[in-house]
Amino acid sequence: MTTGSGQRVASRRTAGSEAGPRAEERASTGGGKRTAVLEGVAGWVPGEPVGNERLPADWGVDDAWVRRRTGIGSRHRAGPGAATGDLAYEAASRLLAGARAAGPVDAVVLATATPDHLCPGTAPALAARLGLGTVPALDIAAVCSGFVYGLALCHGLVVSGLYERILLVGADVYSTWLDPADRSAGVVFGDGAGAALVAAGRTGDPGELLAFDLGSDGTGHDLITVPGGGARARASGKPPELSDAYFRMQGGTVYQHAVERMTGSCRVLLERVGWDPAEVDHFVPHQANARILRAVADRVGIAAQRCVTHLERVGNTGAASIPLALADAAGRGVLRGGDRVLLTAFGGGLTWGSAALRWPGTPQTISTEGTQHVAVR
């Protein structure tokens, strides 16, 4: 592990290994600046798929209704006794099993909106369970934007020289937070985990993380929320309401914000790296629902056939959705070395973010029961 002075992640207007519209061109000249690269991704979804036909009868929905409104055909539920840390462990252990020769992991970042406990964070227990010893480990809470925020954080920690290889995990078990009577959220959300390795490299290396665009708007904090359980609710002095323990989302308003924010973020980032929308090989948006995905792709100017989607089979898996979609696409041979990949996400907070990278190369594929495919550089 190399140590050095810390460096905070750059602001929304300047984040990335290179800033400005000609970032990729400068990165490809072989200058050899230290940067961060994506080494591999893996994913895990628990149990058997829960198809639309198995949703509660009192919700009054059928397969056609759910598919028309969301594009989702099934989702996975963690089941009794399984928590976010368990799913994170399954995804991370499979990734690490295929990447041991690449070098040790010297930090862990876990992006989740459904931590195992309000206190402490879930990441230290995950690191210990993975046998990583006393490496630093922390949770970040950017809801469905968590994986993109995590990539930016890991990029900054690696480029600063503080760490050489970081395990980034996005995991959520929304089924534990959903109101059984709330069909609007119940049809959409699933449980899952995705893991990635972010390591030190040089500009032009396979898997280079080229640039980021991040943002937030706290005036919309109440649009996606779990009202109870935190310090704000406890400080109110009021007895907790049972309903306050459940996830709440104002769907119509969230839809408008999601489309606007992800579209704007993608446009900023494409200009920063000097990519025309037609030059994006693969567009990987947060798998919120099919209507949002189509609206963002259309506004950015990216053709439907270049959109990577995993939504139909797993639903909205929160911070896990982008790495799950990447792992699935890599396992199916959709992603090839050197491909230009654009990621974008939107979540509670409100938060949003986008990332541009070059795909790391020919994947090593591992497939076992309950596992999404694994790609390792």
User: What does the angle CA 359 – CA 108 – CA 211 come to, to the nearest 5 degrees?
Assistant: 35
Residue ranges with strand state E in the chain: 34-44, 49-51, 74-76, 107-111, 137-140, 165-173, 191-202, 209-216, 224-225, 248-249, 282-285, 340-347, 351-358, 375-376
Alpha-carbon span 95 to 42, nearest angstrom = 5
Helices (H), the chain: 23-27, 63-70, 84-97, 123-129, 146-159, 183-186, 231-235, 251-273, 290-300, 311-314, 321-331
Alpha-carbon span 36 to 108, nearest angstrom = 15
Total Cβ atoms within 10 A of residue 83: 17
**Percent of the chain that is helix, strand, coil (3-state, to 5):** 35, 25, 40
Q: Please report how many Cα atoms fall inside a 13 Å half-sphere around the Cα of residue 156, on the Cβ side.
A: 17
Contact between residue 187 and residue 72 where contact means Cβ atoms under 8 Å apart:
yes
Dihedral of the alpha carbons of 168, 173, 179, 180, in degrees to the nearest 10: 150
Q: Which of 144, 154, 266, 307 is catalytic?
A: 144
- The answer to whether residue 144 is catalytic is yes
Total Cβ atoms within 10 A of residue 209: 23
Backbone angle region of 207, left / alpha / beta, with phi > 0 → left and psi within -120 to 50 → alpha: left
Q: Which of 76, 282, 286, 310 is catalytic?
A: 286
The two structure tokens encoding residue 90: 């399954």
Q: Which of 52, 154, 155, 316 is catalytic?
A: 316
Alpha-carbon span 207 to 358, nearest angstrom = 5
- The answer to whether residue 119 is catalytic is no
Give me the active site residues, please.
144, 286, 316
